[in-house]
Amino acid sequence: MHIFQNAGELAKALSPDIPVLLNRPHAARRAARYFVEQFPGKSLYAVKANPSPELLEILWDSGITHFDVASIDEVRLVRRVLPEAVLCYMNPLKQEQSIREAYHEHGVRIFSLDGIEELDKIERATGNAEDLTLCVRIRVASEFAEISLASKFGVDVADSAELLQRARQSADELGICFHVGSQAMSPLAFVHALERVRTAIVEASVTVDIVNVGGGFPSIYPDMEPQSLNHYFKAIDRTFEDLPISYSAELWCEPGRALAAEYTSLLVKVEKRRSNELYINDGAYGTLFDAAHIGWRFPAQIVGRQTESTMAEFSFYGPTCDDMDYMAGPFILPDDMKAGDYIEIGMLGAYGSAMRTKFNGYGSHVEYDMQDEPMDSLYLGDNLDRNDRENVVSFPGA
C-alpha cells in the first residue's frame, strides 16, 4: 500500500471519487503505549469501537494484550487475528451457544453478567467450569458522559449482594465492572462509580479480585476538550486504593474511543453546494454516524487546494436519498467551498468505519496510511500535562 504524507497529497495524486479512510498507525501506537505505561492497571481494548484487523495488530504490538469482545463474531475475529490475545466477553447478555463456543473453542475464561439467569447460563454452557473469571456489572450513573449507558445493563447496587455471592461461589476470580457512559468529561464519573463499587462490596461481604472501571475515557472534539487522561488515571487510582479489597486485587479498564479515535480521519468529496449545505459522498449511514444521529461535531478542513477565503459554518448531506442523511455540524470551512473540493474530517477512528452500512448501495471506500499527525490529539502538545509530556512515547519515522 502506498503511504501518503497527508490528505492533501493523496487528493492531488488520486482525485478519489469514493470516500477514503486515512489511517495513522503511529497515532494508535502512541495512544496504546500511553495507556500501557500510564494507566495503573490493565487496559482492555473495546473492539466494538473499531474492529479493523490492522488496528488490532497495532494495539497488540504496542502492548495491549487483553481485548473486550461483545459478540461471538468479535471473539472469532480477535482469535483469528491475534491467537495469543486474552479475550474478555464483557457483554452482560449472551446467547448460551455463544458462551459455549467462546469457552470450548476459543479459550475465553472471562465473562461479565448482571443477573442470576446469565450466571446460570454461563455455568451450563461451560459445564460448571472451575477456571472462570466472572465480572458482575453494576449500574452506575452517566451524569458526566456525553452518551448515557446507564439504562440497558447493570444490576442495581441495592440488589447486587445475592448475585455477587453466587458468582463468588462459581468463580475462580470475581470481578466487579461498570460503564460510566461514553465520552465521560470528568474524572468524577469514575470516582462516583467506584464509590458504588465500595457499597456493593461491603453489602455483599465478598472478596473481589478485579475492579474493572470499563470504558468512557474521552477523546477530543470541537466543543469537547476533556482534562488530560492522566487526571482520570490518578483519580481512579486514588479511589481504587481505598476500596475494601485485597492487596493483590487488579484494576482494569476498557478504552475504546480513547485508543481508536485518532487512528482515522475521512476524506470526502463535495458533489454539490446549496447555500451553506454541502453534499458529500459519505454520511449518516457511513462513517459519519455520530455526526448525524448523535449530533457531534468533528474537525474539518479543506485539502487539495489553497484558499484565503474567510471561514464559514456548513452542514453536510450524505449521498443517499434519505433526508435523514444529514449532519448539522456546524463544520467550519472556507466560505468559497464548491463542488469538486475535498474535505478531511478528523477524529473518526472510533465509531466511524465500524458504523458503515451498504444502505442505498453506498458504503464503498478505500484506505491509505498517512504520515502526518491527526487533526487533534490528547497525546500531544498542550493537551498533555507536564508529567504526561515527560512520559509520552515517540515513534521515530512515524
pLDDT of residue 382: 64
Convert the chain into a string of H (helix), E (strand) and C (coil): CCEECCHHHHHHHHCCCCCEEEECHHHHHHHHHHHHHHCCCEEEEEHHHCCCHHHHHHHHHCCCCEEEECCHHHHHHHHHHCCCCEEEECCCCCCHHHHHHHHHHHCCCEEEECCHHHHHHHHHHCCCCCCCEEEEEECCCCCCEEECCCCCCCECHHHHHHHHHHHHHHCCEEEEECCCCEEECCCHHHHHHHHHHHHHHHHHCCCCCEEECCCCCCCCECCECCCCHHHHHHHHHHHHHCCCCCCCCEEEECCCHHHHHHHEEEEEEEEEEECCEEEECCCCCCCCHHHHHHCCCCCEEEECCCCCCCEEEEEEECCCCCCCCEEEEEEEEECCCCCCCEEEECCCCCCCHHHCCCHHHCCCCEEEEECCCCCCCCCCHHHCCHHHHHHCCCCCCC
> Is there a shared CATH topology between the 3-22+263-370 domain and the 25-260 domain?
no
pLDDT of residue 384: 64
pLDDT of residue 99: 98
Domain spanning 3-22+263-370 has what CATH number? 2.40.37.10
Domain extent listing, the chain: 3-22+263-370, 25-260
pLDDT of residue 394: 38
pLDDT of residue 4: 96
Task: Single out the catalytic residue among 135, 177, 253, 321.
Answer: 321
CATH superfamily, domain at 25-260: Alanine racemase (3.20.20.10)
Active site residue 321: yes
pLDDT of residue 381: 74
pLDDT of residue 151: 86
If the chain, 398 residues long, is cut into consecutive pieces of 10 residues, what is the mean pLDDT of each piece? Answer: 92 96 98 98 98 98 98 98 98 98 98 97 97 97 88 93 97 97 95 97 96 96 93 97 94 98 98 97 96 95 94 96 95 97 98 93 93 95 54 38
pLDDT of residue 60: 99
pLDDT of residue 12: 96
pLDDT of residue 147: 85
